[in-house]
């Protein structure tokens, strides 16, 4: 016969293991919350890696935010360009790693381009946060209008990946020509939930970059492009964001295209055609 105390001991061990598992789960969730910014932002300072400008006419420009943060940027002027494109990049690296992309955009769209680094990225000192990214974008927009004399209605806001949330926030605050969102998301917690489906990410995350709730306030043309095989930000999130946008809008699916793949030639052609259909207007 078995020991009479065996079932009791078994229950105690079961309860103990359950408590340990719950404790480990809570501890892990707390740890991820504590290191959230380190999991969201992956900046590469210039001292670690810096590529030379993609063209000799690229200008270094230092901007200042409303919180006195210094923001380093590259200005790629296009002679004869009426307006400009403001490029807001993703959560990793620095602007020098996008040199060939912004040069290609300038040439394909025949438009001047300004690309900025958020605080902590490249040659921009400081620490990246959701709010500091927004401030950096505001400073860039102000420089284009005040220093370059470009009318707000002639500025295209371009957000790639994390930058899509920054661009959408800016588009809600400022008049602009068009909003281009590439390989981006509905909200950052939605992305986190796909990476950590076993955690209550939507309840815990402090960085929201909530494009989904904001894009309905954007009244200018919206162009959304997404890769069908994006392994970081699911294609469905790009579709859902597009569905929430107002007309006029256009969705461009990049077939068999991953998150970090270079933009295909067809992307530049599609964006140029979209902007040609929606030229800058005097407002």
Mean pLDDT (whole number) for 131-153: 97
CA–CA dist 82, 174 (Å, integer): 18
- Is residue 218 within 8 Å of 246, Cβ to Cβ? yes
187-198 pLDDT per residue, tens: 999 998 898 786
Residue that the structure tokens 């929430």 belong to: 244
At 201, is the pLDDT very low, low, confident or very high (cuts 50, 70, 90)? confident
- Is residue 76 within 8 Å of 113, Cβ to Cβ? yes
- 31 contact partners, CB below 8 Å, separation of at least 6: none
Least confident of 18-22, 133-137, 139-143, 253-257: 18-22
Return the pLDDT at 266. Answer: 98
pTM over 0.85: yes
Mean pLDDT (whole number) for 259-264: 96
Task: Tell me: do 20 and 83 sit in the same domain.
Answer: no
Task: Tell me: do 268 and 140 sit in the same domain.
Answer: yes
Task: Tell me: do 133 and 262 sit in the same domain.
Answer: yes
For residue 174, pLDDT over 80 is answered with: yes
Task: Tell me: do 30 and 89 sit in the same domain.
Answer: no
- 158 contact partners, CB below 8 Å, separation of at least 6: 85, 86, 87, 88, 105, 167, 180, 182
Q: How many domains does the chain have?
A: 2
Task: Tell me: do 113 and 252 sit in the same domain.
Answer: yes
Task: Specify the CATH number for the domain of residue 154.
Answer: 3.40.50.1820
Task: Tell me: do 269 and 160 sit in the same domain.
Answer: yes
């Amino acid at each position: 016969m078995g020991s009479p105390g065996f079932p009791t001991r078994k229950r105690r061990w079961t309860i103990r293991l359950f408590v340990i598992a719950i404790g480990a789960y809570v501890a892990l969730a707390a740890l991820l919350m504590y290191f959230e910014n380190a999991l969201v932002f992956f900046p590469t300072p210039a001292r670690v890696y810096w590529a030379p400008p993609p063209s000799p006419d690229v200008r270094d420009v230092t901007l200042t935010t409303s919180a006195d943060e210094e923001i380093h940027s590259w200005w790629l002027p296009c002679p004869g360009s009426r307006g400009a494109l403001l490029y807001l990049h993703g959560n990793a690296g620095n602007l020098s790693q996008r040199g060939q992309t912004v040069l290609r955009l300038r040439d394909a769209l025949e438009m001047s381009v300004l690309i900025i680094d958020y605080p902590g990225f490249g040659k921009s000192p400081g620490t990246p946060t959701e709010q500091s990214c927004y401030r950096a974008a505001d400073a860039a927009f102000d420089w284009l209008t005040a220093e370059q004399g470009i009318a707000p209605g002639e500025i295209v806001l371009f957000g790639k990946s994390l930058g899509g949330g920054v661009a959408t926030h800016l588009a809600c605050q400022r008049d602009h020509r068009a909003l281009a969102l590439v390989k981006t998301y509905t909200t950052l917690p939605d992305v986190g939930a796909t990476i950590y489906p076993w955690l209550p990410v939507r309840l815990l995350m402090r960085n929201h970059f909530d494009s989904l709730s904001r894009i309905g306030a954007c009244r200018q043309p919206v162009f959304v492009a997404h890769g069908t095989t994006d392994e970081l930000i699911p294609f469905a999130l790009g579709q859902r964001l597009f569905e929430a946008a107002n007309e006029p809008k256009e969705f461009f699916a990049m077939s068999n295209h991953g998150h970090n793949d270079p933009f295909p030639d067809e992307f530049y052609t599609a964006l140029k055609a979209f902007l040609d259909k929606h030229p800058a207007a005097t407002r």
